[in-house]
Amino acid sequence: MNGISSYRIGALALRYLYLIRRSWIRVIELAYWPTVQMILWGFITQYLGNHSDVLNQATGLLLSGVLLWDILFRSQLGLSVVFFEELHARNLAQLLVSPLQPVELILALMSISLVRTLIGVGIAVLLAIPFYGFNLFALGPPLVGFFINLLLMGWAIGLLVSALVLRHGMGAESIAWAAIFALAPLCGIYYPIATLPEWLQLLSWMLPATYVFEGMRAVLLDHAFRLDYLLHALLLNVGYLALGIGVFLATVHKARERGSLLQSGE
Amino acid sequence: MPLIPWGAMMAEMPAIQVEDLRKHYGPVLAVDGISFTVARSVTCALLGGNGAGKTTTIAMLLGLLLPTSGRIRILGEEMPRGRQHVLPRMNFSSPYVDLPQRLTVKENLTVYARLYGVRQVGERLATLSRDLDIDTFFQRPYGSLSAGQKTRVALAKALLNEPEILLLDEPTASLDPDTADRMRSILIDYQRRNGATLLLASHNMSEVERLCDQVIMLRTGCIVATGAPHELIHRYGRKDMEEVFLDIARGIQGGEVFE
């Protein structure tokens, strides 16, 4: 493989930043759902806090869950939706006959997903401080590990979803919005994994996000930092990300064979 | 035997070499074992009716489409294996692909200039906007342009990296006669100044006569005639390329149907 060029990755990232920069609506859209979710769950937390021993022990358990979940959701969506922009714009063929390598396309998508996640979730995280006196940064250093793991898992799913849409056309676009919600019940965002039936727990422990949310509860309820959880999540993420990249690259190769890059977007 | 320097040897290589190229789309054979060579600094037309295999051939030359079998060498590099070495030295324009609609013309060209590794981006954009007369809508979103304006922007994008090989699919489609004529002059000037190789697919036969040194005629995925435009006109006993095209597209040679 030829050398990966940060200049070309930067060029493509610039294309997406142009889009964000020229439209405040897009920035508002990025922050809208995470903020609405945060407000909703903030009130639920306040209400349940008066009726629940668990929430009394650790205020912000639900809010932490919802904000961390949004990191996963936004990073996946940030990657997939930006890739769909290329299909909608019938621009993918232009990109793939330029010197840009498919792996550089992936890295550019990841970079812009990071920016979109930071904007979207960042605004909600900052607003939670004046709204509910809740500071996600109080999770301390483990938050960095949580963030990285959720970001990586989001990218892996985003790449798989993008590959699916590249293979089956824009008709499959709605999967980008729905795919991750299928995993939500298994990740233990709002409840411990022990709540699930045993057979489902086996599936649940195969998801990196499960370790993040269990780790979050360990910090908030037991004031314990579970490094083993983070490392386990990281190991799974390496595997899933390799799978996502491999499937995406194979799908691009297959599209070159089938000639579908000439008709992408239709 | 005297040693020939590598650089000199590569310079002697044809710009495009195609051997026994085939492309199947499932049961459909789109390109049927074609072979041709385009020398450097030549303008060559790839002609044929709809479905003749022009776009498929161009897409394979670009590495956008993988051949079922056969061999392609561009500037001495095997495709698609050597695409990373070749793609920075070529470019293309086609009405079948687009640019992001919401970005301005300037933003689009800036992004592509960087993707192609253009060094003095601002300077290059200024030159192209002047030459192609796109400076009046340089700051407008690409999606708000007319079809003709988009064609000019697509051509500007194709010339960004001063390519050694330029592949053009319908380069003057949607342009009024005056603008189309200007674009042809720009292409001729660019080709002469840079010694570039141009391969273009066109349905405009007067354009082919004016621009091209060589013609490759395709019909149902096969090459049915090659030669300089004046040679083909002479061979078919016609007065211009328009009539030659019609003869070939209808399978007529010297008044006889040849299929």
The number of CA neighbours under 13 Å toward the Cβ of B215 is 29
Which tens digits make up the pLDDT trace of B32-57? 999 999 999 999 999 998 888 998 99
Q: What is the pLDDT of residue B126?
A: 95
Average pLDDT over residues A98-119: 94
Residue A186 located in a structural domain = yes
| Rg, Å, chain B Cα set | 19
Question: What number of H helices and E strands is found in chain A?
Answer: 11, 0
Q: Is A3 helix (H, G, I), strand (E, B) or coil?
A: coil
Q: What is the pLDDT of residue A264?
A: 53
Q: Cα dist. B72→A167, A184, B101, B221 in Å? A: 26, 49, 33, 16
pLDDT at A28 over 90: no
**Cβ contact A19–B103 (<8 Å):** yes
Residue A105 located in a structural domain = yes
Q: Which of A2, A93, A256 is closest, CB to CB, to B97?
A: A93
Domain with A56 in it = 6-262
| Rg, Å, chain A Cα set | 19
Measured in angstroms, the CA of A91 and the nearest CA of chain B are apart by 5
Q: What is the pLDDT of residue A263?
A: 67
Terminal CA-CA length for chain B: 48
Q: What is the pLDDT of residue B257?
A: 47
Chain B residues within an 8 Å CB radius of A11: 111-112, 114-115
Q: Cα dist. B211→B202, B205, B236 in Å? A: 11, 10, 20
Q: What is the pLDDT of residue A180?
A: 85
Residue A1 located in a structural domain = no
The answer to whether ipTM exceeds 0.90 is no
- B21 vs B94: CA distance, rounded Å: 21
Q: Report DSSP state, residue B240.
A: S
Which tens digits make up the pLDDT trace of A67-81? 999 999 999 999 998
Distance between alpha carbon A144 and the CA centroid of its chain, in Å?
Answer: 15
- A229 vs B123: CA distance, rounded Å: 53
Domains and CATH numbers, chain B: 6-95+165-257 (3.40.50.300)
Bridge partners of B166? B91, B198
Q: Is the pTM of this model over 0.95?
A: no
**Cβ contact B97–A91 (<8 Å):** yes
pLDDT at B259 over 50: no
**Cβ contact A261–B110 (<8 Å):** no
Bridge partners of B29? B24
Which tens digits make up the pLDDT trace of B75-112? 999 998 888 899 999 999 987 778 888 899 999 999 99
Q: Search chain B and give the residue with CA nearest A256.
A: B65
Average pLDDT over residues A15-32: 81
- CB distance from B213 to chain A under 8 Å? no
- B107 vs A110: CA distance, rounded Å: 21
Query: How many domains are contained in chain A?
Result: 1
**Buried/exposed B197-224: b ≥16 CB within 10 Å, e otherwise:** bbbbbbebbebbbbbbebbbbbbbbebb
State which H helix or E strand residue B216 sits in. strand B214-219
Q: What is the pLDDT of residue A105?
A: 96
- B32 vs B56: CA distance, rounded Å: 11
pLDDT at B1 over 80: no
Measured in angstroms, the CA of A158 and the nearest CA of chain B are apart by 21
Which tens digits make up the pLDDT trace of B109-156? 999 999 999 989 999 999 999 988 899 999 999 999 988 889 889 999
Average pLDDT over residues A179-208: 92
Structure tokens at A151: 């970001």
- B88 vs B85: CA distance, rounded Å: 7
Residue whose structure tokens are 């349905």: B203
Which tens digits make up the pLDDT trace of A46-97? 777 777 766 666 668 888 999 999 999 999 999 998 999 888 888 898 999 9
Q: Is B162 helix (H, G, I), strand (E, B) or coil?
A: coil
